[in-house]
Chain A
Amino acid sequence: MGKNKVKTSDIHILNLAKLIFGPQAILYKKEDLLAYDCDGFTIERHLPRAVVFPTNTEEVSKIVKYCAENHLPFLARGAGTGLSGGAIPLNNEIIISLVRMKRLLEVDLENRFAVVEPGFVNLKLTNSISDKGYYYAPDPSSQYACTIGGNVAENAGGAHCLKYGVTTNHILGLEVVLPNGDIIEIGRNGIPDSPGYDLLGLLTGSEGTLGIVTKITVRILKNPEAKQTVLAYFDNIEDGSQAVSDIISSGIVPAALEMMDKTAIEGVEAAAFPVGHPKDIEAVLLIEVDGIAAGIDDQIELILAVCRRRNVREVKVARDEAERGRWWANRKTGFGAMGAISPDYLVQDGVIPRSKLPEVLARIHKISEESGLRIANIFHAGDGNLHPLVLFDSRIPGETEKAIQAGSACLKVCADVGGSITGEHGVGIEKKEEMRFVFNEEEIKAQTDIRNVFNPDCLLNAGKLFPTPGRCAEVKRELASKS
């Protein structure tokens, strides 16, 4: 473990090391930095200048101030599970890792909120309060590892966000270190709405470009009285898609409504958490309803009827909590499971009107055929949030570029049918050019103007979220010419 022994000629690293406390609180050797050259998006890789591990807000503030005064680019990193490259140090940034700020500071059951540090892992919150009958609703599939700070930055969603809303609907307050080092607090004591502009809303989902979140107050919910989960297998993807639409239009609001196609099923069944899905089906739906016990059985009956009307091959209700857990583990580890059938994947994140599902899937299929790359589809079907996973092998020359093109083409389809290019994974590096599919120059400028109010020197997480050219590109060039 060892203490801080910093040996380098880089004066900034020596100075930064003095600002933080704790064992190995700064990394600066190439070998140690390599693990930080990308996040869950592996296509771009850049080494940071250093990684620092503050343990409290004051340390974060001091580091940020130092960076601002010395014109050093910096960015925040949580667990690095982001899928759009948000935590990748494009400009040789100082990475401020928040994983050592991982305490659960307060739980107020009466007023239904909890206060956490940004490095606190999503699933741990539910695990810490479940014995008292409470949970934290946003449940990204990466919840075993991702941090709530990262969730705020990406406005993360999850399977159960169909009924309960995404991260932004559960944030009651934030403490933020601004890009100049000032510490501000928005929303207090679990009371979110203050007069004036909705700053909480603005910061949530800002992808780490407006400030560094150092404390978060979140809403917690009481466990639903009852829960039922259904698996439905379809021989035909159109029937599956239609069943999704029918369920929603029947008036039921399922807690979750997930879908996987044939290639995705092949992946999850080959991986670590198989549940025995038949190999020859075209689509599987995972449907969950929850609420007061009285109405649940009726809802399940209705869902079963809808599925049968849409020619379902087989449909079953989870017998117990253990079976339900296995079904969810199978679904939630779906992205990683692709490792079992492909060396690399690029996951896309489009949103479409539900009614366009069959059309979009057909067009994605065509993209797959044309590119010669397999594309698996895992998605939050209930809210039309599609995750095409482009499978490729980066060791084959040219295949990475092909995958990027195929991914972009998928997003184009989503935008064309009136949807959007990201549901929950953010724009990051990955989709910044695709922003043009949904915004014109003026709209983009309006947004960069807002960023510049918070982040005028563009030192914080530059080169993300908006297509270049923009002011940040200039900074990058300026910095490049200096070094």
Chain B
Amino acid sequence: MMSIANTEQKPACTTGGLGNYLWSDPPKENKWADCVHCGLCLEACPTYEQLGQEQHSPRGRVHLIKSVAEGNLFVNEAFADPVFQCLDCRACTTACPASVDVGGLIEEARGQVRQAMALKGWKAMTSKFFLETLFPHHDRLHAAGSLLKFYQKSGMQKLVRKTGLINIMPEHLVEMESIMPEIKTPVRKKYKQEQVIKAKGVTKRQVSILSGCIMDVMFSDINEATINVLTRNGNDVTIPKNQTCCGALHVHAGDREMGRKLAKQNIEAFKDSEKVIVNAAGCGCMLKEYPELFHDDPEWQEKAKEFSAKVEDISKFLYDTGYAPPKAELNTRITYHDACHLAHGQGIREEPRDLLLHIPGVEMVHMPNADRCCGSAGIYNLTNPEMAGAILESKMANVPEDVEMISMGNPGCMLQMAVGVQKYGRNQRIVHTVQLLDWAYQKEEEQGSGQDGEK
């Protein structure tokens, strides 16, 4: 048995060190010491639900992470599998009575795995392309966005689909291609000339927004909606220039070094901001967790804490600061999906529902297990398509039949749910919560009754 472990190569330099964790920034003992092995988290975990295997459950993962520290296990392929099959959905954090930070432990463990061994094959390609080549670089993202736009507008898309070229793409990429949102102009480009996008009416607060990397390219209309909704409610909005990708996907993938680099850049970029408003749950959660990245660097940890305190999700910000409920009616039946990083990661459940319910004419149908992961989980749907697909299938089974739209607060989920709608022959439109709100405001303006009235 031990032979598997002994074949592991030792790292070139060992700075950290805790049992068989040989690199710096290992999983923190105080995090697993909270776990009493009660198992109450098992059923919350989507991968345990699918496989029924305990190494793929939160308790099992914590146990393995602890075993490495105790010297009973090595950081190798077999350890990497359960650690990387985790969706980072944080449902276990909600379920756990002892508030064990399973997600944090997993990310730290992934950091060790990535330093111990390199990725291979398709996964490596996807990861490298998205995480290193694309996301941290706005210019490249915009260029890719323009290409996509060209692809859609020029008729190439039609051509690819018609010629069957699409059939040679891997299945999950085909699914993705078919639901690609229509690419519009990123807000960073659009508002390039404006220092401040002024509030409509009296200015009450100043806020900055995280425009996001992929968000601004694939979903610029959501950023647009966010800006509209903020300015409509008395907020001057800035889009700090030097901001970059939040780093969540890098940290999920175990590249904590890159995570730190991006975090530092963002902390600097938002230095003068009072509030950092985020419309992507995954990014918001990451920004709030920046201090976790700097356990070995007190100076930056302090800065990260200050920064994190300023971060807020758009739905909670509107709810907390008081917003004007729109007066125009949007007659529609919708349901709401809790993005993992909003519900489990940030504890935000009621606020977005409240915003939606205050739009006249919106009827909300309950989705059973609304806070169950959809399988998107960053680029998990690209790196672990089989598991992601199985999870999506059970998610879609919970979507009520008779709704026109599914609302949520995370772009990753929106893409995945769009795949689901397409794949299972459903017809719902996928929308972001602020989009619905924005549409209602727009309609109100069209009807010419756009007067302020605080909630």
Contact = CB atoms under 8 A, between A and B. Distances in A.
A79 B42 CA distance: 8
Contacts of A339: 34-36, 38, 97-100
Interface in B338-356: none
Interface string A36-47: 101110100000
A99 B52 CA distance: 6
A470 interface: no
A339 B97 CA distance: 8
B38 A81 contact: yes
A27 B72 CA distance: 18
A159 to B, nearest CB: 15
Nearest to B50: A1
Interface in A114-141: 119, 121, 123
Interface in B1-60: 1-2, 4-5, 33-44, 50-55, 57, 59-60
Contacts of A38: 37
A26 to B, nearest CB: 11
Contact of B36 (A32, A51, A97, A345): A345
Nearest to A391: B36
Contacts of B78: 29-32
B97 A272 contact: yes
B427 to A, nearest CB: 26
A336 interface: yes
A340 B34 contact: yes
Nearest to A268: B97
Nearest to B72: A34
B387 interface: yes
B98 A338 contact: yes
Contact of B97 (A31, A100, A271, A343): A271
B53 A30 contact: no
B373 to A, nearest CB: 16
Kindly name the residue among A144, A273, A336, A338 whose own CB sees the greatest number of chain B CB atoms within 10 A: A336
Given A31-B55, A35-B54, A339-B100, A145 B4 contact: no
B36 A338 contact: yes
B64 interface: yes
Given A31-B73, A273-B97, A142 B63 contact: no
A290 to B, nearest CB: 25
A359 to B, nearest CB: 29
Kindly name the residue among B2, B41, B53, B95 whose own CB sees the greatest number of chain A CB atoms within 10 A: B53
B397 interface: no
A145 B42 contact: yes
Contact of B4 (A31, A40, A336): A31
Given A30-B1, A31-B79, A271-B99, A142 B38 contact: yes
Interface residues of B, number: 44
B390 A1 contact: yes
B451 interface: no
Contacts of A36: 54
B386 interface: yes
Contacts of B2: 30
A337 interface: yes
A97 B42 CA distance: 14
Nearest to B79: A31
Interface in B64-121: 64, 67, 72-73, 76, 78-79, 82, 94-100
B37 A42 contact: yes
Given A1-B50, A29-B4, A40 B55 contact: no
A382 to B, nearest CB: 23
B39 A145 contact: yes
Interface in B363-388: 386-387
Nearest to B48: A99
A291 interface: no
Contact of A119 (B51, B52, B63, B97): B52
Contacts of B4: 29-31
Kindly name the residue among A32, A335, A344 whose own CB sees the greatest number of chain B CB atoms within 10 A: A32
Nearest to A23: B51
A335 B38 contact: yes
A272 B52 contact: no
Nearest to B384: A1
Contacts of A32: 53, 55, 78
A334 B40 CA distance: 11
A336 B55 contact: no
A113 interface: no
Contacts of A34: 55, 63-64, 67, 72-73
Interface string A249-285: 0000000000000000000000111000000000000
A242 interface: no
Interface in A54-97: 79-81, 97
B97 A24 contact: no
A53 interface: yes
B13 to A, nearest CB: 25
Contact of A24 (B39, B40, B53, B73): B53
Contact of A333 (B43, B57, B64, B97): B97
A294 B50 CA distance: 46
Given A40-B39, A336-B38, A35 B52 contact: no
Interface in A330-387: 333-340, 343-345
Nearest to B56: A35
Contacts of A39: 37, 39
B40 A142 contact: yes
A146 to B, nearest CB: 8
Contacts of B95: 144
A339 B35 CA distance: 6
Contacts of B35: 339
Nearest to A123: B43
Contacts of A29: 4, 78
A41 to B, nearest CB: 9
Given A31-B4, A339-B97, A343-B34, A79 B64 contact: no
A40 B82 CA distance: 20
Interface string B247-289: 0000000000000000000000000000000000000000000
Nearest to A119: B52
A341 to B, nearest CB: 9
Contacts of A395: 33
A81 B39 contact: yes
B64 A35 contact: yes
A334 B67 CA distance: 26
Nearest to A2: B386
A30 B96 CA distance: 27
Contacts of B79: 31
Given A31-B4, A40-B38, A272 B386 contact: no
A31 B64 contact: yes
A42 B42 CA distance: 16
In the complex, the 10 A-B pairs of residues with the closest C-beta atoms, listed nearest first: A339-B98, A336-B97, A333-B97, A31-B78, A35-B60, A35-B54, A99-B52, A336-B38, A339-B36, A81-B39
28 contacts: A30-B4, A30-B73, A31-B64, A32-B55, A34-B55, A35-B55, A39-B39, A40-B39, A42-B37, A80-B54, A81-B38, A102-B52, A142-B39, A145-B40, A145-B42, A271-B97, A271-B98, A272-B94, A335-B36, A335-B38, A336-B38, A336-B40, A336-B98, A337-B98, A339-B36, A339-B97, A343-B33, A345-B36
Interface of B: 1-2, 4-5, 33-44, 50-55, 57, 59-60, 63-64, 67, 72-73, 76, 78-79, 82, 94-100, 386-387, 390
Given A35-B82, A53-B52, A340-B97, 8 more contacts: A40-B38, A81-B39, A121-B43, A144-B40, A272-B97, A272-B98, A273-B97, A336-B40
